[in-house]
Amino acid sequence: MLQTSNWSGCIWTASHQVFPLNYRSIRSLPFALFSKRRSTKFMASLSTPTRPPKPIEVAKRLEQFKTTIFTQMSMLAIKHGAINLGQGFPNFDGPQFVKDAAIEAIQDGKNQYARGYGVPDLNSAVTARFKKDTGLDVDPESEVTVTSGCTEAIAATMLGLINPGDEVILFAPFYDSYQATLSMAGAKIKCITLRPPDFSVPIDELKSLISKNTRAILMNTPHNPTGKMFTREELDAIASLCIENDVLVLSDEVYDKLAFEMEHISIASLPGMYERTVTMNSLGKTFSLTGWKIGWAIAPPHLTWGIRQAHSYLTFATSTPMQFAAGAALRAPDSYYDELKRDYMAKKAILVKGLKDVGFTVYPSSGTYFVIVDHTPFGKENDVAFCEYLIKEVGVVAIPTSVFYLNPDDGKNLVRFTFCKDEETLRSAVIRMKDKLKK
């Protein structure tokens, strides 16, 4: 019998006993019970259960992960009518020529399954852009895998290249999907914390963390949430450690075109690094089309093989018409990228000045569309408490950064704002904070 029957609270124990008649027990019932009339009635009663369905039981490897902070904050934003400077999606639309290319592809009947690793046109566009950006010549057929956003590139890379027990080094704060996908892959996470004000890489600490079990370093430049960009010196140091210790680099570069204060450098372009690097990217940030979820991973054939094995069984292929449109996007003239940068620099200037005027300590951000501030002048006990207060009492959403750390205490003084919003929205958020935030 059911041992704990709290139906409203959905507390379940001895779950196999909840429905006492399972397939086996039905078969063992006396035959007489299954006269046609009786069995129909009996089966009908089974198919219309009067009890609520069994709640979802999350697998151990994902138990610790809750609803993402971005979803939670966006829901709170709606509830309180707050201006959302939390989740990193633009509140303006992507370029018309890319949307036109998608419509054209749909009208042209490019609507069936795409080739698993990408429509040839997009694979070629990815390699052409990579060549322009890094000088590297890569083969679109054997070194590019098109994925459903960078999120899938990250997952396919982890699942395709990391064995259970392999050590992977992360830099905290880190984008939340890294920890979850590494956990799915059974990796052992080792973490180095980047600290304000400049969030520089502590190279000696990195050196001491690398062991014979280290399979990969997972990095992100320009970096979410800090806006830090890895310098050439840092990349050189990471590269020589990886070569010396035969370690892979998994490099998330989704913000490569949002590099404001310095030039973005792909670590794959450093001598000896292409052979051991997976470069992951996507369309969403550069073309303000975060909902399209078109991404890719570039890696030498021996690494691409693993990524494609995982990709084949995760999604197999990505939206066909959107891939054609992504190809058109990546062939945008330089003027598109120049204008994008100009627009974002203007937005950034509005937000950074506004936040300083409000009284935050604002840390320098060189790339991405994020900026990190120290909220402690406003006297709240931690980042989550501050963000709750900011949403409910001030009407502005920011993201608490403690969720980006293995040790949440490391982020308790910091919150992240995004400036991927139109200028009026940014100004309104600043006005609200000036009016209502009290020290």
Ligand X SMILES: Cc1ncc(COP(=O)(O)O)c(C=O)c1O
- Check binding of 290 to ligand X (CB under 6 A): yes
Residue type for position 353: K
Give the nearest distance from C-beta 152 to ligand X in angstroms: 7
Looking at 173, 227, 295, 395, which residue binds ligand X (CB under 6 A)? Answer: 295
Per-residue DSSP letter, 55: P
Q: Which of 94, 118, 227, 284 binds ligand X (CB under 6 A)?
A: 284
Nearest residue (CB) to ligand X, 74 versus 282: 282
Q: What tokens appear for 84 in the block?
A: 């959302």
CB-based burial label for 157 (10 Å; 0-12, 13-18, 19+):
buried
Number of residues that bind ligand X (CB under 6 A): 14
User: 414 — phi, psi (to 5°)?
Assistant: -115, 140
Q: How far apart are CA 44 and CA 25, in angstroms?
A: 17
- If the CB atoms of residues 311 and 432 are measured against ligand X, the closer one turns out to be 311
Whose Cβ is closer to ligand X: residue 87's or residue 134's?
87
Is 282 an interacting residue with respect to ligand X (CB under 6 A)?
yes
Q: Please, what is the minimum distance in Å from the beta carbon of residue 362 to ligand X?
A: 20
CA quadruple 386, 388, 394, 400: dihedral positive or negative?
positive
DSSP, res 57: -
Q: Which of 252, 256, 383, 410 binds ligand X (CB under 6 A)?
A: 252
Task: Tell me: does residue 173 bind ligand X (CB under 6 A).
Answer: no
Query: How far is it, in rounded angstroms, from Cα 249 to Cα 238?
Result: 9
* 175 binding ligand X? (CB under 6 A): yes
Measured from the CB atom, the residue of 277 and 290 that comes closer to ligand X is 290
List the interface residues with ligand X, window 100-159 (CB under 6 A).
149-151
Strand partners, 252: 220, 280
Residue 312 to residues 146, 283, 339, 427, Cα–Cα distance (Å): 11, 21, 37, 45
**Using the rule CB under 6 A, which residue among 224, 320, 365, 382 binds ligand X?**
224
Min dist. Cβ of residue 203 to ligand X (A)? 22
CA 226 to chain centre: 15
Q: Which residues bind ligand X (CB under 6 A)?
A: 88, 149-151, 175, 220, 224, 252, 254, 282, 284, 290, 293, 295
